Amino acid sequence: MSETRPVLSHFGVFCRDLDAMVAYYSEVFGMTMTDRGQGHTMPFTIAFMSSVPDQHHQLALASGRGANDPSTVMQISFKVKNLDGLREIQGRAQARQAPALRALNHGNALSIYFSDIEDNTVEVYLDTPWYVSQPHADPLDLSRPDEELWMETEAMCRRDPSFMTVEEWQRKFSEA
Together in a domain, 93 and 172: yes
100-116: b or e for each residue (b if 16 or more CB lie within 10 Å)? eeebbbbbbbbbbbbeb
Domain boundary residue among 49, 68, 87?
68
* Number of structural domains found in the chain: 2
- 78 domain residue, yes or no: yes
CATH of the domain at 20: 3.10.180.10
- The one-character DSSP state at 70 is P
Which uninterrupted H or E stretch holds 106?
none
Confidence label for 3 from pLDDT (cuts 50, 70 and 90):
low
pTM value is 0.89
1-33: b or e for each residue (b if 16 or more CB lie within 10 Å)? eeeeeeeeeeeebbbbebeebbebbeebbebeb
Report the percentage of the chain scoring pLDDT > 70: 97
From the list 29, 1, 25, the residue with the least C-alpha distance to 13 is: 25
